């Protein structure tokens, strides 16, 4: 096999993991209650948040030779992350564009046959920031190694600048529990395009549902469920690679969020499947790649004593 192809294959697996990273509760009690829907929370420089994250990433790859999979590999990685983030820069909407994360623990968990592996030591500072439209990482002020980026890229993604979740997924009218609506697929298409993914807008399928609601101290806490599916026949381009890609992308999850605009506590569970065939231009050789991830994340301001629990 062409050695250049092998090197590009390893690099692409790391790039695509980052690219994708770009993007249960008691019933309210009153069936007719209506709620204002607000996802976006403006941040300020210096805001601090506690993070607790548990995630599983499954990466499968194979070489496609004349359409037959060969050299197939599968890697399962389980992570536990805790620490405190500090917002260092924001865009005009108040979304974080540069964040420092001081590690309490960032561990790749063993599987019973292998011990836990410390990805970064306690009190290390992991910085994520946009640079020319791409998220880059540093550790204690030094550029993060490719190995570290491969571990953290799925967990420390930043929102794209200039567009809020309210603009993509929000609605102006008030909603009841079990109401559903669609995202703004034009904005989603532009968001994908900014990350190097070209998609036919008409093929994007979306659904957001207000699943349930409860209250604490008179403030609603709403549970949402979303589903985003982009079928095959897309043209995806890795920012640093010259390749043609056919991909199938499906993401779903739940999000629990305070409806007080001054509170930034969120509990989120995300499940994603990404499957693709990548053509680098070598005769009869392609790369098959499948990435699955499930991430459970609770983020709460340091000033809040008790975050909402699922």
pLDDT band at 227 (very low <50, low <70, confident <90, very high): very high
Structural contact between residues 46 and 86, judged by C-beta atoms closer than 8 angstroms: yes
Segment 45-63 shows an average pLDDT of 92
Expressed in angstroms, the distance from the first to the final Cα of the chain is 49
DSSP helix/strand/coil, 171: coil
pLDDT digits (tens, 9 = 90+) for 98-132: 999 999 999 999 776 778 899 999 999 999 998 87
Q: Above 60 in pLDDT, residue 220?
A: yes
Structural contact between residues 224 and 206, judged by C-beta atoms closer than 8 angstroms: no
pLDDT band at 224 (very low <50, low <70, confident <90, very high): very high
Geometric angle at alpha carbon 297, from 11 and 252, rounded to 5°:
70
Structural contact between residues 301 and 96, judged by C-beta atoms closer than 8 angstroms: no
- What global pTM score does this model have? 0.78
């Amino acid at each position: 096999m062409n050695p250049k192809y092998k090197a590009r294959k390893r690099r692409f697996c790391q790039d695509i993991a980052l690219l994708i990273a770009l993007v249960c509760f008691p019933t309210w009690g009153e069936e007719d209650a209506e709620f204002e829907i607000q996802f976006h929370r403006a941040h300020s420089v210096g805001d601090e948040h506690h993070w607790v994250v548990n995630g599983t990433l499954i990466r499968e790859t194979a070489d496609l030779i004349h359409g037959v999979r060969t050299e197939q590999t599968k890697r399962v990685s389980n992570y536990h992350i805790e620490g405190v983030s500090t917002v260092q820069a924001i865009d005009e909407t108040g979304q974080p564009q540069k964040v420092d994360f001081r590690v309490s623990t960032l561990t790749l968990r063993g599987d019973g046959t292998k011990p836990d592996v410390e990805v970064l030591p306690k009190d290390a500072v992991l910085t994520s920031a946009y640079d020319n439209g791409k998220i880059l990482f540093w550790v204690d002020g030094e550029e993060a190694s490719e190995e570290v980026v491969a571990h953290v890229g799925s967990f420390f993604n930043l929102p794209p600048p200039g567009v809020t979740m309210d603009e993509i997924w929000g609605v102006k009218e008030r909603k009841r529990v079990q109401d559903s609506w669609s995202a703004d697929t034009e904005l989603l298409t532009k968001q994908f395009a900014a990350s190097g993914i070209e998609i036919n807008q008409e093929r994007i399928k979306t659904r957001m549902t207000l699943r349930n609601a409860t209250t604490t101290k008179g403030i609603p806490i709403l549970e949402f469920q979303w589903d985003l599916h982009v079928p095959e026949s897309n043209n995806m381009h890795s920012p640093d690679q010259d390749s043609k890609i056919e991909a199938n992308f499906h993401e779903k999850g739940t999000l629990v969020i305070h409806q007080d605009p001054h509170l930034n506590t969120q509990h989120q569970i995300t499940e994603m499947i990404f499957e693709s065939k990548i053509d680098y231009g070598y005769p009869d050789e392609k790369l098959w790649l499948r990435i699955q991830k499930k991430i459970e994340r609770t983020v709460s301001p340091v000033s809040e004593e008790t975050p909402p629990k699922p």
